[in-house]
């Protein structure tokens, strides 16, 4: 019996491109938050340092999760981050981080919609879980912004 080695789930190149853009931005924010964790200074740093670290780790796990999915779908995950904005002050950190999270939320909604249209339920499910994290990060950064 000949068994097909083709992927069971076939998706458009457009969806694969979006997954790669998502990976690029997950790598970006993972480095961005890690460097902010290292560079944050002053009295307020004590309160926020660990948050940058734990969020950076969460973003790295997202990158890995999306890369695994893209690989399964027959795509090659990028190794290049999107533009990293570390900036100087804590307020600037948080403004750029909030912007990054808004971009993620918008992009991941688009991916969920497209994945559903293409009947790729698993990708939609993975991104729903990731989206929940990004909304938490957005809430975290905007809350922190109120205090700086
Ligand atoms: Fe993420
Ligand atoms: Fe995030």
Q: What is the mean pLDDT of residues 124-133?
A: 98
The whole-number pLDDT of residue 4 equals 81
Residue 51 parent element (H or E): helix 45-72
Question: Cα(1) to centroid of ligand 1, in Å?
Answer: 43
Q: What is the CA radius of gyration of the chain?
A: 17
pLDDT at 9: 87
> Which segments of 12-143 are extended strands (E)?
none
pLDDT tens-place string over residues 37-52? 999 887 778 888 899 9
Contacts with 107 (C-beta within 8 Å, 6 or more apart), sequence order: 18, 21, 22, 25
Query: In angstroms, what CA-CA distances link 112 with 68, 90, 94, 129, 148?
Result: 17, 32, 27, 11, 34
Ligand 1 ion local residues (Cβ < 5 A): 26, 59, 62
pTM of the model: 0.93
Q: In which residue are the tokens 């795509």 written?
A: 75
Output the CA–CA distances (angstroms, integers) from residue 138 to 12, 14, 35, 81, in the order listed.
Answer: 30, 27, 18, 20
With 80 as the cut, is the pLDDT of residue 5 above it? no
pLDDT of residue 65: 98
Q: How far is CA 57 from CA 12, 31, 72, 140, in A?
A: 30, 9, 23, 15
In angstroms, what is the span from residue 69 Cα to ligand 2's centroid?
Answer: 18
Instruction: Give the distance (Å) from ligand 1 centre to CA of residue 68.
Output: 14
Mean of the per-residue pLDDT values for the chain? 94
pLDDT of residue 104: 98
Q: What is the whole-number distance in angstroms between the Cα of residue 1 and the centre of ligand 2?
A: 46
Asked whether residue 118 carries a pLDDT value surpassing 80, the answer given is yes
Residue 7 confidence (pLDDT) above 80: no
Mean pLDDT value of segment 70-81: 96
Mean pLDDT, range 125-137, rounded to an integer: 98
- Given this model, what pLDDT does residue 41 score? 81
* Ligand 2 centroid to residue 118 C-alpha, Å: 25
- pLDDT number for residue 46: 83
Instruction: Identify which has the larger pLDDT, 87 or 136.
Output: 136
Q: How far does the centroid of ligand 1 lie from the alpha carbon of residue 11, in Å?
A: 22
| pLDDT for res 142 | 97
Output the CA torsion sign for 97, 59, 132, 44: negative
């Amino acid at each position: 019996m000949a068994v097909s080695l083709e992927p069971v789930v076939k998706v458009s190149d457009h969806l694969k491109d979006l997954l790669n853009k998502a990976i690029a931005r997950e790598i970006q924010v993972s480095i961005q938050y890690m460097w902010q964790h290292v560079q944050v200074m002053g009295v307020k740093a004590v309160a926020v340092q660990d948050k940058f670290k734990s969020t950076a780790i969460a973003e790295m796990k997202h990158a890995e999760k999306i890369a695994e999915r893209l690989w399964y779908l027959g795509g090659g995950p990028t190794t290049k981050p999107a533009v990293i904005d570390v900036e100087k002050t804590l307020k600037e950190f948080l403004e750029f981080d909030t912007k990054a999270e808004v971009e993620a939320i918008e992009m991941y909604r688009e991916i969920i919609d497209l994945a559903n249209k293409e009947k790729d339920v698993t990708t939609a499910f993975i991104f729903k879980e990731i989206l929940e994290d990004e909304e938490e990060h957005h809430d975290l950064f905007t809350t922190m912004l109120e205090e700086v």
